Copies of this chain bind each other. A is one copy, B any other.
Amino acid sequence: MGLDSLLIPAVLFFALGAFAKFINSDLKFPEGMTKGIGIYLLMAIGLKGGVALSGADFSLAISSIIWGIILGFLLPIIGYALLRFRNKINSFDAAAISAHYGSVSAATFLTAVAFLEVSGVEYESYPIIMMVIMETPAIIIGLVLAALARKKLAVKSGDEVPKTEWSPLLKEAFTNGSVVVLIGALIIGTVATPEAMAKVTPFTSEIFMGVLCLFLLDMGMEAAKKANTLKKVGGVLIAFGVMMPIIGGTIGVIVGISFLGFSVGGAFLLAILSASASYIAVPPVMRYGVPEANSSYYLTLSLGITFPFNVVIGIPLFYQMATMYSAL
């Protein structure tokens, strides 16, 4: 099974994209194409989740939401603690990076879903709500940690403590475009009648996998571009980019099976959510909210290391982990 996961078209297209940049091909998506596809993917996954949820267990949905919030706060704090260990990474960079790891990568999640579907494994739809939920706490934690760092720095240097304007920052955490599309589509999928949804399905479900392949082709190129700047980020951060998903994924498996009672498929998806790092929604928020941090660090980490790690190693690994843990 381990190797098979690498042979699903989505992963193969990711590899193709990475290879294209590796050989310095001039292949390039037109501006806006990836963003457009991204909106489509969020809309589709949201609708699908909504339909599934309309027939779901209400109390389990609530538990999932609560666990999503807990993980969204917990994971970045773990990440921050790791990064600040022995003061290797400065507080601003640590804050910005850990926000990325508390949040999630929709592309990684979708690749994992593709892996399950091709393998014929069942999964719950609750992780889709959790994906929506986990975006916001992570951003808040990142901003709070940076504000604390700012305060400490000002105190140390005797300057007056700069006042962080919270309202525009928090606004971004809650009104982020990805969150709005995802949660909106989720609600629409729940509310719309089955006959109406049937008219939308050919667009949102049938062509979905193919579109995902196109998306991952570009992601592969982006990941490879970022991997080119690995030297700049240094060994400590590279190690973090591999360790953090393993920690997150393990927590995800445990929470999924022991606390939420998910099947192997569902726990595996939660592991992927916990293991993955955002590279679409969170970077611009951190860029604006934590200008002190070095943006190339968090982009290289989440896109250049953790994303390929999850797609290539994380997916088979966490699936194995979930299978074994559930058999205990």
Contact = CB atoms under 8 A, between A and B. Distances in A.
Contacts of A211: 203
A9 interface: yes
A17 to B, nearest CB: 9
A36 to B, nearest CB: 5
Nearest to A218: B39
A195 B35 contact: no
Given A43-B213, A43-B217, A203-B213, 9 more contacts: A7-B192, A7-B193, A9-B192, A30-B33, A33-B35, A118-B199, A200-B210, A202-B209, A203-B207
Interface in A10-68: 12-13, 16, 19-20, 23-33, 35-36, 39-40, 43, 47
A212 B300 CA distance: 36
Contacts of A172: 26
A171 interface: yes
Interface in A172-196: 172, 174-177, 180-181, 184-185, 188, 191-193, 195-196
A197 interface: yes
B192 A20 contact: no
B184 A16 contact: yes
Contacts of A16: 180-181, 184-185, 188
- Enumerate the 10 nearest inter-chain pairs by beta-carbon distance, A residue then B residue, closest first: A203-B210, A30-B32, A27-B177, A16-B184, A203-B207, A202-B206, A25-B175, A199-B209, A30-B35, A12-B188
Tell me whether chain A's interface is mostly helix, strand or loop, or mixed: helix
A9 B189 CA distance: 8
Contacts of A118: 193, 195-196, 199
Contact of A184 (B7, B19, B196, B197): B19
Contacts of A175: 20, 23-26
Interface in A188-242: 188, 191-193, 195-197, 199-204, 206-211, 213-214, 217
Contacts of A33: 30, 32, 35-36, 39
A47 to B, nearest CB: 8
A8 interface: yes
Given A196-B8, A199-B114, A203-B207, A29 B39 contact: yes
A192 B8 contact: yes
Interface in A134-161: none
27 contacts: A7-B193, A9-B188, A9-B196, A9-B199, A9-B200, A13-B184, A19-B180, A19-B184, A20-B175, A20-B177, A20-B181, A23-B174, A24-B175, A25-B180, A26-B177, A26-B284, A27-B180, A27-B181, A30-B33, A31-B32, A40-B214, A43-B213, A117-B199, A199-B209, A199-B210, A202-B209, A203-B206
A43 B204 contact: no
A19 B177 CA distance: 11
Interface in A92-148: 114, 117-118
Contacts of A30: 31-33, 35-36
A128 to B, nearest CB: 17
